[in-house]
Every structure is written in C-alpha cells, then in structure tokens.
Structure 1
Amino acid sequence: MKTSALFLFSKQLLAGVCGLLCALAHAGTVQVAVAANFSAPMQKIAAAFEKATGHTAVLSFGATGKFYAQIRNGAPFAVLLAADDETPARLLKDGLAVPGSTFTYATGQLALWSRRPGLVDDKGQVLRAPLPGKLAVADPRLAPYGAAALQALDKLGLLDKLRPQFVVGENIGQTFQFVKTDNAALGFVALSQIMEGGRFTAGSAWVVPATLYEPIRQEAALLKAGEDNAAAKALLQYLRGDAARQVMRAYGYEF
C-alpha cells in the first residue's frame, strides 16, 4: 500500500511539473506602452496577469503623445494603453495598429489636488480665490488629462485668469510630482493618482465634474509589432476581464 501510494504521489507530482513546464514553454513577453495616469493600476494588473497566464508584461510609462511619436519611429511596443481614443485611431490610420483590436479599457476622471489638507474644497472654489502658489497642468498637446484640465478651466471662465500661474508637466506623472513635491500648490491630476482602494490617499481634492470636459476614453490597441505575439493578445483579453476591472475601479476608473 505504501509503495502504491508513493507511486501515485510521484505520478501526480510529475504531471504537475510537466504542466508547469508546458505553461512556461508557451509563456511570452509583451512590451507595453502605458499612459502615465495608468501607472499604478497597470503595475498591479501586470503582476496578476503574469501569475494567471505565465506571460510577462514589460511596462513603459509616459505621455500618450510621446508614445505616438516613438511608435511611428519604430519603437518595438506590442500594445499601447493610451490616455485617449484619438491616438489609437491615428495609429490605425497610419497602418501601425491592428484593425479591430482597439477598445476602451477605462474612462478616466480628472481631479484638482493638493497635498495640503483643507486647501482644495469639494466644489473647486479654491480656483476662484487667489492661489497660494503655482497650478500644475499637464501639457495639453501631449497629455489628454492636460487637455481636459484646460477645457474645464475654460468652461469655468478661469482659463485666462489662471494661465500665468501654470507650471506645465510633460505628462500627468510629472504634473503629479510637481504637486507632490510642493513645486506647485495644487494641480489637475488623474483621479487614479490620488485614489487607491476607493479612497483618497492624501491631501485634499475635488473630483472635477465630467460635464466640464470631454470624456477621457482610454483605448487600448494591438500594434503591428505585436500582431503575432500571443502574450500581447492575452494581455488585451485580460484587460477586459473582471480581475483587471476590479483593480481599475479601486483607482477611480469607470467603464
């Protein structure tokens, strides 16, 4: 009996090892260009994706506009997770994205934030009072969240008044750092940068009403460089699933 039990255990162990080796043999790597606002959730999603599939996602973070230029110049990204829906459309037109592969993976929200508690009120009236310092805004030519910030200020009738106090970040990640390091008293950031687990992480904030700016539909695209990459296709499929969306919701994204 003992010998039989040991034989059965060994057989099961061998089958498990073979299964693992087969999974690893088919595992791949995907180079992903990720909009800066999506940095924190994507790092968690990538870790879960690797655990679930064996595939590895190598992430690069930056401004969507810069990624567009890099992809046009031959950067070997297989997947783009943009901060807008216009850039994937342009890449399709350029023949650099796979037709039928684009979809909205999340809708972002804009927030006015300060690391100082109590500075930003829940209606954004702080913008109508004399500001205690610089106002950080992402470059609207490169960053969709920067364009949304200018749209909101324009609708509020405050754009011309506040423009002299702007400090402009190359992307929303740099804009967040301006505020975090007190190089700006407050700034327009992605809600995802100041929220985790459904709660604000620090400071004071106003979630800018969506009626003040065009929807920030963040689209994913399979790029031509990833057309035959199984890991790239698996990642895009994973982003549509409940596990990934649960992470996104915790950072304030909508669908």
Structure 2
Amino acid sequence: MNFGSSGNFRRQIAQGAPFELYLSADERYVQALYEEGHTQDEGVIYAIGRLVWMQQAGRGDLPSDDAPLAGVDAALEAQESGTNERIALANPEHAPYGVAAQQTLEHAGRWEPTEALRVLGENVSQAAQFALSDDARGGLVAYSLALAPSLRERSEYVLIPQSWHEPLRQRMVLTNQAGDVATAFYQWLQQDEGQAILRTYGFSGE
C-alpha cells in the first residue's frame, strides 16, 4: 500500500505503474483515468472529506468555529512584527486537499497576503507534519489526519466550513491490473464495516 498525493498517483497509473486499486481525494483524477482506458469502470465515491485548521496543542489560542482562520490572521500579525510563522498546506498543483486549502484562503481573502508564509507539502500527510513543526503556526489539512492517533495527542483543530471550498468527493476505482485481493478490498470498503471505519476518521458518505 502506497500513500501520496492523488495527482502524482494519477500520473503514475497513466504511465503504467503496477497499481491495482486507486483511492483518490479528487474524483476527477479517477474520471480522467477511466476516459484514458486505465480502469475497469468509473469507480465509486467512497467518502466525502473535510478540511481543518490544525496546529500544535497549546500553540496560541485555538481558532473557533466562528473564526476558523484566526491562526492565519495571527501569523499575518506576527509577520508585521518581523516574525515568520509558517502556514502549511499540501501543494495545490497535485494534491486535492491543497486545492481545498487554496480555495479556503481565497474565500477568506487570505491567499495573496499569505504568499510569503505558505509552506507546501508534497501531499497532505507531509503538510500535516509541517503544520505541527516548531516554526509553523499551523496548517490546513485533512480532518482524517487530525483524528489519526499519531497526530491527535499533540495537535488541536477546528473544522473549516464546507461551503468555503469545493466538495472533497473521494472516489476509488480498480485498475485494469486489479487482482482478487484488490477487488475484495474495494468491495469491503463499500460495505457497512468499511464505511464505519471511515466515519471514525471524519469521512462521510454520499
């Protein structure tokens, strides 16, 4: 099992990489592979993702539901006084959660002002690590990562309103190379047991 940005895996599959099952945080990548003839069908939506602002536990005041980007504003205020507190996000060029983060900052009028403060992760998992580093104020990352045991104990988060970015409709599909094990896992993820596990990590269904 490999983890990385959806865009990078989409490119690798198109180039013939030996992947059997592709789970993408952006359903458009799956659609493109299907249209190019690399998958068995159009796949299925397996989850809807959420975006959060995540920061180190105790790293200043936690933003509230009413002001989820207060951490961004705090970083901008620190910049004015000569201190750079980084804001982490996944690279929007190939990471769907990075696209959602950019859309969120644009919605709030914070995209251009934060240009010098942004640090980009190759994928959203790397962005989460950057968000919890000592020189970062925090970052915009996947809700599922904020709930992961490895990060949950040393972080705190607030959900970003879903209306601030395009829906994170996550689609999975079997490639033309899929065998029995990949097919069984694909089917299991659509069943109640698989969906229940996804819900514990902040995902919702269609």
Q: TM-score, normalized by length of structure 2?
A: 0.88
Unmatched 5+ stretches in structure 1: 1-58
- Counting only pairs closer than 5 Å after superposition, residues 23-34 of structure 1 correspond to structure 2 as none
Corresponding letter in the other structure for 2:184: A
Corresponding letter in the other structure for 1:170: E
Q: Is the 8 A contact 1:119 1:204 kept in 2?
A: no
Corresponding letter in the other structure for 1:195: L
Counterpart among 116, 128, 133 of residue 73 in structure 2? 128
The answer to whether 1:195 aligns with 2:147 is: yes
The percent of aligned pairs where both chains have the same amino acid is 31
- The 2-side partners of 1:113 and 1:82 are apart by 22
- The 1-side partners of 2:135 and 2:2 are apart by 25
Structure 2 residue aligned with 1:149: 101
Larger mean CA deviation between 187-196 and 122-131 belongs to 122-131
Counterpart among 90, 99, 106 of residue 41 in structure 2? 99
- The 2-side partners of 1:139 and 1:158 are apart by 16
- The 2-side partners of 1:167 and 1:133 are apart by 10
Structure 2 residue aligned with 1:185: 137
Counterpart among 51, 54, 66 of residue 113 in structure 1? 54
Structure 2 residue aligned with 1:237: 187
Q: Is the 8 A contact 1:135 1:187 kept in 2?
A: yes
Cα distance, 1:65–1:183 mapped onto 2, change above 3 Å: farther
- Counting only pairs closer than 5 Å after superposition, residues 1-255 of structure 1 correspond to structure 2 as 59-100=1-42, 102-117=43-58, 118-122=60-64, 123-124=67-68, 125-129=70-74, 130-131=77-78, 133-196=85-148, 201-226=153-178, 229-255=179-205
- The 2-side partners of 1:201 and 1:143 are apart by 25
Q: Is the 8 A contact 1:78 1:224 kept in 2?
A: yes
| Number of aligned positions between the proteins | 193
Q: Is the 8 A contact 2:50 2:203 kept in 1?
A: yes
- The 2-side partners of 1:164 and 1:239 are apart by 40
Larger mean CA deviation between 210-219 and 67-76 belongs to 67-76
Larger mean CA deviation between 233-242 and 188-197 belongs to 188-197
RMSD: 1.8
Q: Is the 8 A contact 2:49 2:168 kept in 1?
A: yes
Q: Is the 8 A contact 2:71 2:137 kept in 1?
A: no
Q: Higher relative contact order by CA 8 Å / sep ≥ 6: 1 or 2?
A: 2
Q: Is the 8 A contact 1:195 1:201 kept in 2?
A: no
Q: Which has the larger radius of gyration?
A: 1
- The 2-side partners of 1:165 and 1:181 are apart by 14
